[in-house]
Amino acid sequence: MPLPPKARLSPPHRRAMEGNPWFAAIPRAQREALLASADLVHLPRRSMVFRQGDPLQVAGGGFYGLAAGTIKISTLRQDGREAILAVLEPGNWFGEITLIDGSPRTHDATALSALDLLVVPPEAFAQQMRDNAFANAMSALLAARVRGLYSLMEDATLRGLRARVARRLLTLARGDATQSAEPRQRVRLPQEALAMMLGITRQTLSKELNALAHEEVVGLGYGYIELRSLDALQRLGSAP
């Protein structure tokens, strides 16, 4: 991803970043140092931030903060099937694994809309990691990622489809990777993308969502799902 000319971090961008629970928990000095080390670049819709297998040395590589737009984190198989692992919204930071272990990128990161993206160069990230407070914050971020992965593995192996759908909707209600304390009432995501997240067909998901809509647990709209009963989704998500 070649970097366009550096742009200025605007107040809306700053508010988006500071609205993220992980970033807001970092001491102010470390937050300011991270923002000061980043380039703000603009990317059009469908741009690839990075591809699975990219080495760290690819132009524009670094630790990324999403100031505006939406990014899809996914893996594409050789037969063309795609698995969506997460959808990132403004405020999220990502791409740290390759900077920590030096191995290639583990997945694709694709712009679902036009992006304003903070890019912290590898050298600046390494400098930040020498600060104990920032290194501890990165440990917390990685721990949260591991917990999320374990939860997905548990869902895939131990829970029925209805419970998996309910749990993923609840996760998306909190911003997926963001996991805000307060859930939103509406999830803006095409059903096809939700099916890819769950590893099921669009038709199978449609059947489950229509059943939930019939029970007035959710409402279905064009490009969004309204969560009418979070309590009911919690009960369904707790079932085996």
Identify whether 155 is part of a domain: no
Contact 39, 142 (CB under 8 A): no
> Which residue type does 16 have?
A
Phi, psi at residue 212, to the nearest 5°?
A: -65, -35
The predicted pLDDT at position 148 comes to: 87
> Would 134 be classed as within a structural domain?
yes
Looking at the fold, whether 129 and 187 belong to one and the same domain comes out as: no
Alpha carbon distance 19, 93 (integer Å): 12
Q: Are residues 133 and 37 in the same domain?
A: yes
Residues 184, 234, single domain; the answer is yes
Same domain, 127 and 187: no
Residue 153, in any domain of the structure: no
pLDDT of residue 1: 54
Number of H helices, E strands in the chain: 10, 11
If asked whether residues 124 and 47 sit together in one domain, one would say yes
Do 130 and 181 lie in one domain? The reply is no
| 118 and 40 co-located in one domain | yes
Here the CATH number for the domain that contains residue 70 is 2.60.120.10
CATH, residue 195: 1.10.10.10
Range list of β-strands (E), the chain: 39-43, 48-50, 63-68, 71-76, 82-88, 93-94, 108-111, 115-120, 186-187, 218-221, 224-227
Q: What is the pLDDT of residue 5?
A: 44
User: What domain range includes position 121?
Assistant: 11-145
Q: Is residue 61 part of a domain?
A: yes
Considering the domain architecture, whether residues 229 and 171 belong to the same structural domain is answered as: yes
Residues 139 and 183 in one domain: no
Note whether 109 and 192 are same-domain residues.
Answer: no
Q: Domain boundary residue among 121, 145, 169?
A: 145
Residues 54 and 90 in one domain: yes
**Residues forming a β-bridge with 73:** 86, 109
Q: Which amino acid is at 7?
A: A
Question: How many structural domains does the chain have?
Answer: 2
Which string of b and e fits 13-46 if b means at least 16 CB within 10 Å?
Answer: beebbeebebbeebeeebbebbbebbbbbebeee
Looking at the structure, do residues 136 and 46 belong to the same domain, yes or no?
yes
Mean pLDDT by 10 residues, the chain (240 residues): 58 92 94 94 95 86 95 87 90 95 94 96 96 96 91 88 94 83 88 92 96 96 93 91
Residue 1 located in a structural domain: no
